[in-house]
Amino acid sequence: MSKKVVVLGSINVDTTYHVERFPQPGETISAKSKSSAPGGKGANQAVAAARSGAKTAFIGAVGSDSEGQYMLEALKDNGIDVHHVTIDKYHGTGTAAVTLDAEGQNDIMIYGGANKAMTPDMVDDIDDVLDDADFLISQFETPQEVALAAFKKAKEHNVTTILNPAPAHEIIPDLLKVTDVIAPNESECALLTGIPVTDEDSMMKSAEYFQKQGVKHLLITLGSKGVFYATPNDHGLVPAFKVHAVDTTAAGDTFIGALSSQLEDDLSNVADALVYAQRASSLTVQEMGAMPSIPTADKVKAALAEK
């Protein structure tokens, strides 16, 4: 049976500038090309879940502008329920300016707009999408207070909550108390815990830190080294797939969304789900653009069969 995933998060229109290298401070360089595409961490994660077969609903906000209409259509084109996307008359749709170098690395500047203007009362009426949901995902491109209100509601519906603390900020303690799974990358994990991620021992100490805050499950994405996971009963490292990356923009978002489409509520299949999510992410980085590069379940399964 397909998983039902609800994503609370950001919606951005991404404009990517393709450059040979990043500019130095005060330097002006020429971009080789420019492209625009739908994006935002929340929207990317929702699309990744939907393309991997999950029944997906979105909670967010866009402006009453052409970019907002564009993003709503992009989400609906991927079969995502947008009934809980608010149209903000006072703030514009979020945008992101992405600088992408020849090695596939990126710098990103974000205008939050309607994303940052979200308020907790916007999740007062989300019970209908939580009634039969398996997971609720949120990130930090929308206010933490909104995620806290939504996660509290999720707990009332016995929905498993997944927090992707990116971009990393100090976390409201009460939010961790209603978070079941936290999924930072290694730098975010170190920033949040104060423990540098250097080896298995440091990652287990990070898991203990989060468990003391109320989070039972930790996933640390380690780039080319794979993903470390720790649950109350198990821990391990799932290796990454070796590929040539041309654009890493939506790699982490693809990982989170694809994972949610495969994961059991109790995380009993976490290792297998992580393999799937890693493979999906490895396909994303081999294509240009954020949302356009996110693979379908068929593509991920075909790639897994190739090994």
Q: Which helix (H) or strand (E) holds 270?
A: helix 270-284
| pLDDT at 103 (0 to 100) | 85
Across the strands, what pairs with 183?
A: none
SS3 294: coil
| Residue partners of 124: CB distance under 8 A and separation at least 6 | 149
Tell me whether residue 1 is exposed, middle or buried, using C-beta atoms within 10 angstroms of its C-beta: 0 to 12, 13 to 18, 19 or more.
Answer: exposed
| pLDDT at 293 (0 to 100) | 92
Bridging pattern class, strands 235-238 and 227-230: antiparallel
Q: Is residue 71 within 8 Å of 43, Cβ to Cβ? A: yes
Alpha carbons 59 and 61: distance in angstroms, whole number:
7
| Residue partners of 277: CB distance under 8 A and separation at least 6 | 227, 254, 255, 256, 258, 259, 262
SS3 80: coil
| pLDDT at 307 (0 to 100) | 61
Alpha carbons 257 and 49: distance in angstroms, whole number:
4
Residues of the chain with pLDDT under 70: 307
Q: Tens digits of per-residue pLDDT, 147-182?
A: 999 999 999 999 999 999 998 889 999 999 999 999
* Active-site residue list: 253
